[in-house]
Structure 1
Amino acid sequence: MAGAPTDRIPLHSIILPVLGVAAWAVVGKAGLGLLALALAAVLLGSVLAAVHHAEVVALRVGEPYGTLILALAVTAIEAGLIISLMLGGDPNPGLMRDSVHAAVMLVLHGLAGACIVVASRRHRDAEFRVDGANSFLAVLIPMATLVLVLPNHLVSSPGPYLSLPQLVFVSLACLALYGAFLFIQTNWHREYFLPVDGGAHAEHARPSGRIAMASAALLVVALSSVVLLAKALAPALEEAVGAVGAPIAVVGVIVAAIVLMPESAAAIRAAARNRLQSSINLALGSAVACIGLTVPAVAVVAWWVGQPLALGISPGQTTLLALSFAVSIITYGTGRTNLLCGIVHLVLAATYVFSVFAP
């Protein structure tokens, strides 16, 4: 997270989020047409602004709370985006499943692989704390299994659906796992998630309280801008997916990619500074928060509006998910990783994306 300026707030990081909210208010319910491209550009700018403000706040509070703030912020984006798409437009009972599945796979392989490649390219063997990485996997594996695999093997409801008692139990189990993880991360074993060098190579001083508070407020505006603009762009997105003949699951992949953009930029920047532990905190932390918080939140809204949720993934994707966790256990099992591991993860990320387009 080092690398964010701490003595001032760049003007563009204020203008772009405000412009995004204003643009949504003007054209949010109108036909987009060519405006879709302009709104997409503002959306990207709002994401970059969110990255900056989140990094400033993170530098102020320190590790591991800093990466936790960004993980929770991105989870708020995903939950808000999924809920807004559920309440408007054509029903898509598999949207949450596709988004959560995509977030897990893109984090495990796309983001993690990119961070490992970036760190290894400059420092050969990149180091991190085994206890921290294993703590993430210890909760991520059962969470993903409960949400994405278990529904296909229960008999109370047909196919990939859960009965209401089952959905309540799975949601509570995810919350319990996430709560236990937060307790470990912020209390008993906080040292598991601290940088290997103890933060000795931080490049910027801790920002002042005034700057941090301003960035926290602007972070909320930036995240709101991302959610609102993404909702406004949803019709154009669905039309584009249909026009190219892509499966509907691609919408979930795009949603996951949008909400992971802030953490991806911050994680890769940390990896470039040989702070792979911060990258792991950001990457795996976003996946854990995604399931632990997004699933219960969306489940409550789905129950409230009476919309069913399709959760179980296909047998082929289940096999790929199992392979993903097996490779991740190997990667994070020694406290050191290298370029080969990063390339393996990137290949698996490409395999996942290809399997979505060619199931």
Structure 2
Amino acid sequence: MTAALRTITPTAILRLILGWGVFIALQFMGSLLAPPVPTPLLVTALLVIIAVILICAFGVVTEAEHLANRLGDPYGSLVLTISICLIEVILIAAVLLGPGDHATIARDSVMAVSMIILNAVIGLCLLVGGLRHGALTHNRTGVSNYLVMIVVFAALAFALPALIGTPDGAYEIWQEIPIIVVTVGTYVFFLYRQMGPQAHEFTEAAPVGPASAGASSTAGTTQPSLTEAADQSESRPPEAAGRAGDAPHGIVEILSTHRVEIALRLVLLVATVLPIVLLSHDMAKLLDDGLGRLGAPVALSGVVIAMIVFLPETLTSLRAAWNGEIQRVSNLCHGAQVSTVGLTIPTVLVIGMLTDQQIVLAESPINLALLAITLLVSIIGFAGKRVTAVQGAAHLIIFVVFGLALFA
């Protein structure tokens, strides 16, 4: 118990005090921050909020990495992915249940998140990892599972409503129920396979070492290349990588042995993430005011909010890329995308049904085209044995075009 309590460090406590303290202070300043806010106060408040969010984000990264090291992948990656996704769902639900008409909030938020995760974050990770380590080997079977789920969920969320739904791009009530059941059921089945029988397919395909940085220097030795190592890793049976039946028992043993530490770190992670989301609400109001004065599109504020909410996962992914852990990058990014669409869309549809609100999901042609290009580039890039910095640059180009499309 004493060793477990050491997880609550003075730095973690200071982050909590800072995050929650600033949030409480902003509630007392509500009248001062009501639009239109004087420009000096607007800029100051935005800088303070963003700084506090960044500090809390680093705290989330710290706890998530400790949990990942304790639990191992894919369980460690799932902790951060699911927690961030659930908070995103809560954030969208809070907007839906608030005043005003927000028929497209789920569509706009999930599309922004998709472009950020699949292009900005993965693009940066491939660029950083590729420049530092060269071509990196990933577990193609695991990544393929992610991409298959992303393609199906994206089609159900953004394309199908325009083809079979109402003229506004929303599902009919009788269509929503099977879509919800199929999406949630498939997502739960995917999680079961990922955490159980197929857990070994979401681990690193080959260790990162000197071979990844300079394979040519070992050309005359009998050491296998990264490509050969990947072939051996992918071709070996589950028993060699960790028996399918052993994974659940292993995680149960870890949870039993370190239950107090894991519980405390989970509480710290959630308690540190919540101020990020709560402060994002205040930041959204200030951004809307500031962007309105600049004449920028209002949709830009949604992109900024999405980037802030997913900042902890972005930082964790970049650190994994820096260490050459490309499969962990996939677990975090592709896993976040699957969770976001697999949980957010059904939840929003349920809220719409219960509150008698229309949920418009059909996307614009330009965003559908960009999403299709993104998925095509992802499938082609990760179909190979290794990924490179060039592929990262391609994803970043798509994200830049998405940013330009916001102003079109």
TM-score for both structures, normalised by structure 1: 0.90
* Cα shift readout 1:265-314 (whole Å, capped 9, x = no counterpart): 00110111111000111010000000111122222223333332111111
Is 1:260 matched with 2:260? no
Quote the Cα distance in structure 2 between the aligned partners of 1:189 and 1:199: 22
- In structure 2, the residue matched to 1:3 is none
- In structure 1, the residue matched to 2:343 is 293
User: CA 1:93–1:101 in 2, change beyond 3 Å: closer, same or farther?
Assistant: same
Contact 2:284 2:305 in 1 (8 A): no
Where in structure 2 are the equivalents of 1:286-325 lying within 5 Å? 286-325=336-375
- In structure 1, the residue matched to 2:248 is none
Where in structure 2 are the equivalents of 1:140-289 lying within 5 Å? 140-155=150-165, 157-197=166-206, 210-289=260-339
Code of the residue aligned with 1:25 in structure 2: it is: I
- 1:101: Cα distance to partner? 0.8
Quote the Cα distance in structure 1 between the aligned partners of 2:16 and 2:57: 8
* Cα shift readout 1:174-231 (whole Å, capped 9, x = no counterpart): 2122112112211121111011246999xxxx99655433221111111221121112
Quote the Cα distance in structure 2 between the aligned partners of 1:113 and 1:187: 29
Code of the residue aligned with 2:329 in structure 1: it is: S
Q: Is the partner of 2:310 in helix, strand or coil?
A: helix
- In structure 2, the residue matched to 1:351 is 401
- In structure 2, the residue matched to 1:124 is 134
Code of the residue aligned with 1:304 in structure 2: it is: L
Quote the Cα distance in structure 2 between the aligned partners of 1:241 and 1:95: 18
Contact 1:17 1:45 in 2 (8 A): no
Q: Is the partner of 2:108 in helix, strand or coil?
A: helix
Is 1:114 matched with 2:121? no
Match of 1:60 among 60, 64, 70: 70
- 1:170: Cα distance to partner? 2.1
Q: Is the partner of 1:147 in helix, strand or coil?
A: helix
Quote the Cα distance in structure 1 between the aligned partners of 2:346 and 2:290: 30
User: CA 1:340–1:199 in 2, change beyond 3 Å: closer, same or farther?
Assistant: closer
Quote the Cα distance in structure 1 between the aligned partners of 2:367 and 2:381: 21
After TM superposition, the runs of 4+ consecutive aligned structure 1 residues lying more than 6 A away are 198-201
User: CA 1:240–1:49 in 2, change beyond 3 Å: closer, same or farther?
Assistant: same
- In structure 1, the residue matched to 2:215 is none
- 1:133: Cα distance to partner? 0.7
- 1:89: Cα distance to partner? 5.0
- Structure 1: where are the runs of 5+ without partners? 1-5
Code of the residue aligned with 1:17 in structure 2: it is: L
User: CA 1:40–1:305 in 2, change beyond 3 Å: closer, same or farther?
Assistant: farther
Superposition CA RMSD, Å: 2.4
Contact 2:348 2:359 in 1 (8 A): no
User: CA 1:302–1:41 in 2, change beyond 3 Å: closer, same or farther?
Assistant: farther
- 1:328: Cα distance to partner? 0.7
- 1:104: Cα distance to partner? 1.3
Contact 2:138 2:206 in 1 (8 A): no
- Structure 2: where are the runs of 5+ without partners? 211-253
Contact 1:84 1:231 in 2 (8 A): no
Code of the residue aligned with 1:23 in structure 2: it is: V
Quote the Cα distance in structure 1 between the aligned partners of 2:19 and 2:97: 21
- In structure 1, the residue matched to 2:238 is none
Quote the Cα distance in structure 2 between the aligned partners of 1:240 and 1:162: 35
Q: Is the partner of 1:63 in helix, strand or coil?
A: coil
User: CA 1:254–1:307 in 2, change beyond 3 Å: closer, same or farther?
Assistant: farther
- 1:255: Cα distance to partner? 2.7
Quote the Cα distance in structure 1 between the aligned partners of 2:25 and 2:321: 39
Quote the Cα distance in structure 1 between the aligned partners of 2:209 and 2:397: 34
The structure whose Rg is larger is 2
* Cα shift readout 1:235-260 (whole Å, capped 9, x = no counterpart): 21222232232333223322321222
Quote the Cα distance in structure 1 between the aligned partners of 2:321 and 2:266: 24
Where in structure 2 are the equivalents of 1:57-136 lying within 5 Å? 57-88=67-98, 90-136=100-146
User: CA 1:87–1:25 in 2, change beyond 3 Å: closer, same or farther?
Assistant: farther
Count matched residues.
Answer: 348
Task: Give the fraction of aligned pairs with identical amino acids, expressed as a percent.
Answer: 30
